[in-house]
Structure 1
Amino acid sequence: MKKSIKRTTAALIAGAVFGSLLYAGPAAANPSDGSATVGAAAANPSDGGEAVGAAVAAKSVRKVDRMTDWASNYRYMDFDGMAQRLDDLLFAFAANPEYVPVDQTESYMPIGYWDDTNRNGYGRMFGFPSYIGHVNGSGEGTMTPGGQEAISTLAPLLSGMLAGIDKTDQYGYNLAEMANGFHNTANGENMVLNRTNTSTGQSFWYELYPQLLYIQIYETAKRQYGQDIPSMRNIIVQGAEKWLDALPNFKNSSGKLSFDFTSYNMKTGEPVRNGRWTEPPGGALAYIFY
């Protein structure tokens, strides 16, 4: 069984890598250095290999030649500065240690808010609304503590970290570690999911994407800011092991390995099809296992 799981994991990773190669296409050779034409990587004659094709001189394309080097309507976008200003706007709430409700009538400010419900036992966390002014179908607003989604809360957290803002120490808080609040322990799932109180068996998108964001937050804190957060590392390993244990159950009606499902229910140990669409999780699982 272990050998089968290892082979399957290796196949997932290989598939993800091969897929990226297909997307990127073969390396284009540079005519200026005497190598082969675009579309195939030329062998290096100096090492005994054969050139893929004859050297081709760069061609002049009249329409391209008439293009200016600097378009008149070009405007430089300072994306780094934009990211910094966006972070200032989103995380302004954290400067105040007290919980301030979001104004849901006119300004919808502050955008973010503290969440002290402590649903999963990790203490204070925070949240952002899915949309400004959005209230989901159940009537529980995502602008109130406990109603936030991981995909709209963890994404700006990671964005700020990638923009050079140390979220392990911002306004005196380790905001990165607060992502632990999405680790669903209270209901026994013990998985990082899209809500603080939800379960698997509904959609791979909402069950895997939050884990990918969570892993990236941990890795960025460790590599970019030198902060190895043990609690996050343990949660990541636990999640990977649970998915690895589930892998042998990913079978179609013929008993063969398949990822053509909508979700997977960790409690029943069975893949789920909703009868309307499928969300193959191969690439996400490969990343989690890696």
Structure 2
Amino acid sequence: MANLPQPLKIIDWKLMAQNFDKTIYDLNAKGEYWPMIWMDSTRKNFDQPVMGIYTAVGDVRQGKNNKGMFHEALANMGAVMGASLIGIDKSKQNGINYAAMLKNYFNRDTKWNIMMNNTAPEVALLGGGYGRDWWYDVYPNVLFYAIYEQYPNEKDFDWIAKSIAEKFYLADSILKGDYNYSYFDYAAMKPMKNQICAQQDAAAGHAWVLYAAYKKFGDKRYLKGAISAMTALESNKINPTYELLMPFGAYLAARMNVEQGT
């Protein structure tokens, strides 16, 4: 392949992200399938509305269907995070605090007390792996910690972050290096198996969040938990990659080797 292939057009990713934000976050957009966002007023977990964003254009499960409740943290948090990384303040955009709305994914009504892919179990079986497919329950917390870094002064974010870290630390302590489960019930605090494959790479998500919590709060228990989860991940005899958590484990391994001498 040539060093400079022709024709060549370099994508301006910052401009693309700006255009995405401007286009998607337009409540007045007109046309079939538009607007791409709506307000869910069911007020789950926190007494505030939360914005929904379509997972797929024209998704019949979403929008005003199902009481407006079916929207996913993966899409919503990802959109907020992407905009924040290019300098868009999502805590005060056109009079709306999109960052604060993400609190509704913190499932305290069900006592799980972590960020989850939906705001409530009523819509869990419509799609996504809420409460039964481990990576869906872990990854929103990885995303939340990234957003928390962008909005450290957002109301309630501190105690939510600590709650997540406590849940993940206790879960890792219970698992004792064995992540061969389909998911973890963070309310009952017990590992579970179902028809979904074992997801040993959930350990990477636990470790990522716990190390971020250690760096933020300085609690050495979180460092201990991060090392424990990474040790569990490393002990696998097979490649545990499922969905998207393993790259976080690889990055974290390198970082902890440098910073902690692991």
TM-score by length of 1: 0.64
Unaligned runs of 5+ in 2: 125-129, 212-262
CA contact (8 A) 1:176 1:218 kept: no
Match of residue 79, structure 2, among 148, 153, 156? 156
Q: Does 2:151 align with 1:221?
A: yes
Q: Tell me the CA shift for residue 203 of structure 1.
A: 1.3
Q: Does 2:192 align with 1:258?
A: no
CA contact (8 A) 2:112 2:185 kept: no
Superposed, 1:202-213 pairs within 5 Å as 202-213=132-143
CA contact (8 A) 1:142 1:149 kept: no
CA contact (8 A) 1:201 1:272 kept: no
CA distance in 1, matches of 2:131, 2:172: 14
| Letter of the 1:108 counterpart | Y
Superposed, 1:173-192 pairs within 5 Å as 173-192=96-115
| Letter of the 1:283 counterpart | A
SS in 2 for 1:92: coil
TM-score by length of 2: 0.70
Q: Which has the higher helix share?
A: 2
* Structure whose alpha-carbon radius of gyration is higher: 1
CA distance in 2, matches of 1:188, 1:248: 19
CA distance in 1, matches of 2:182, 2:196: 9
Cα 1:122–1:233 change in 2 (3 A) is farther
SS in 1 for 2:191: strand
Cα 1:175–1:276 change in 2 (3 A) is closer
SS in 1 for 2:48: coil
CA distance in 1, matches of 2:111, 2:95: 31
| Letter of the 1:287 counterpart | W
CA RMSD in angstroms comes to 2.1
1:278 counterpart residue number: 198
CA contact (8 A) 1:120 1:183 kept: yes
Q: Deviations over 1:263-288 (max 9, x none)?
A: 11123322112244111211110111
Percent of residue pairs identical: 25
Match of residue 85, structure 1, among 19, 27, 42? 19
SS in 2 for 1:113: strand
Q: Deviations over 1:25-57 (max 9, x none)?
A: xxxxxxxxxxxxxxxxxxxxxxxxxxxxxxxxx
Q: Deviations over 1:112-155 (max 9, x none)?
A: 111221121241210111111223xxxxx222321111111111
CA contact (8 A) 1:204 1:279 kept: yes
CA contact (8 A) 2:133 2:196 kept: no
Q: Tell me the CA shift for residue 190 of structure 1.
A: 2.0
CA distance in 2, matches of 1:197, 1:264: 17
Match of residue 37, structure 2, among 107, 112, 126? 112
